[in-house]
């Protein structure tokens, strides 16, 4: 991955984008797109679009830009903040975390509190933390002191700086799925230097973590011929992983291509052919019932929209320390560019 792309990725990961409050990350994504896309727009749901206009089939490269987060639900008289989760948390990873509250006056720092281990009963020590028993401390002396700083409804993210690790790995919060939005735009950048026949959109969709909402409305508006959905997937190359159920999915082994359920078989074959033709490593991932991605909301839209699914192996998903490989992201962008270039002036995906 070149240094310009890496800087954009790291900048994007430094922003906040809890589901329903994605504006900061979306603005950074659109700012980058304006350097090479023909059109850059945003809709009423916060979905961001970047287009390379062409006369061929309409292809959408989609990654959701939202992340899991939290939201203030109550400010008590002593100035402590109570909160609910946005998206699917493993509650126990939140204890002791530093957080960033996104308020109208700017970011407010805080920490997630719980009674210290010394003060827990023997029975309590053996139980996992639950969000309903945790609070956020911003240092306010009272509720009256806290209320000018934050409001009920303000969103929150964990404050965790990105770490570059050995082997070209990075660890950060929000890799699920700002890396998908990043790869969609990087593929569009690759295509911009040699225009394909297709009419291509990169889409940074909102609210996937709470129900595929942004992608559903965005693709209804675009009515594309095909969509390639980008997301992280569970790596199975760590201790206690289930390879029997999850397959052999390795970080630094290349992106995965899904087969089954909402993954259109012809698009899956085209993605494999594109990867093989370009010498791009990949693995096959199965989706026998559903994919757990925006494809589950896109494929049944309108009269049916053909989807392919390309994912990036990720360790420790839905934690503040998600981990992916930069080379997997680069290979995924190259795969998408090769796929789009393989689409001619006509694309017939009827299952005959």
Active-site residues: which are they? 208
Nearest Cα neighbor of 205 from 231, 171, 173 is: 231
Contacts of 232 (CB under 8 A, 6+ apart): 175, 176, 177, 179, 180, 311, 312, 313, 314, 317, 322, 324
Distance CA(275)–CA(40), nearest Å, equals 28
Distance CA(184)–CA(199), nearest Å, equals 14
Distance CA(308)–CA(104), nearest Å, equals 39
At which residue do the structure tokens 């948390």 appear? 89
Nearest Cα neighbor of 308 from 1, 60, 52 is: 60
Q: Following DSSP, what letter does each residue of 194-237 receive, concatenated?
A: S--SSEEEEEEE--GGGTSHHHHHHHHHH--SEEEEEEEEE---
Nearest Cα neighbor of 67 from 86, 51, 52 is: 86
Distance CA(284)–CA(303), nearest Å, equals 27
Distance CA(318)–CA(337), nearest Å, equals 28
């Amino acid at each position: 991955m070149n240094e310009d792309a890496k800087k954009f990725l790291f900048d994007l990961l430094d922003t906040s984008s809890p589901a329903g409050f994605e504006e900061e990350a979306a603005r950074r994504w659109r700012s980058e797109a304006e350097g090479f896309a023909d059109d850059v727009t945003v809709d009423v749901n916060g979905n961001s679009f970047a287009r390379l206009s062409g006369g061929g089939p309409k292809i959408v490269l989609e990654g959701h830009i939202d992340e899991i987060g939290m939201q203030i639900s109550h400010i008590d008289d002593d100035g402590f903040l109570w909160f609910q989760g946005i998206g699917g948390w493993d509650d126990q990873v939140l204890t002791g975390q530093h957080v960033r509250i996104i308020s109208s006056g700017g970011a407010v720092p805080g920490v997630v509190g719980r009674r210290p281990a010394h003060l827990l009963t023997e029975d309590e020590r053996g139980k996992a933390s639950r969000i309903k028993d945790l609070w956020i401390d911003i240092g306010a002396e009272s509720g009256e002191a806290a209320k000018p700083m934050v409001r009920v409804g303000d969103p929150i993210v964990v404050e965790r700086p990105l770490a570059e690790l050995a082997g070209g790995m990075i660890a950060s919060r929000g890799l699920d799925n700002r890396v998908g939005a990043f790869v969609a735009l990087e593929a569009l950048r690759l295509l911009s230097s040699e225009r394909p026949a297709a009419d291509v959109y990169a889409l940074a969709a909102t609210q996937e973590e709470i129900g595929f909402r942004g992608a559903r409305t965005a693709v209804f508006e675009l009515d594309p011929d095909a969509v390639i959905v980008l997301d992280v997937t569970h790596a199975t190359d760590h201790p206690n992983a289930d390879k029997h159920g999850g397959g052999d999915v390795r970080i630094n082994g290349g992106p995965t291509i899904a087969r089954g359920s909402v993954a259109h078989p012809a698009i899956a074959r085209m993605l494999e052919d594109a990867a093989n033709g370009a010498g791009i490593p990949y693995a096959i991932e199965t989706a026998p019932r559903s994919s757990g991605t925006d494809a589950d909301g896109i494929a049944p839209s309108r009269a049916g929209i053909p989807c392919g699914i390309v994912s990036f192996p990720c360790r420790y998903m839905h934690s503040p320390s998600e981990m992916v490989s930069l080379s997997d992201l680069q290979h995924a962008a190259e795969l998408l560019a090769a796929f789009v270039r393989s689409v001619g002036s006509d694309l017939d995906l009827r299952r005959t």
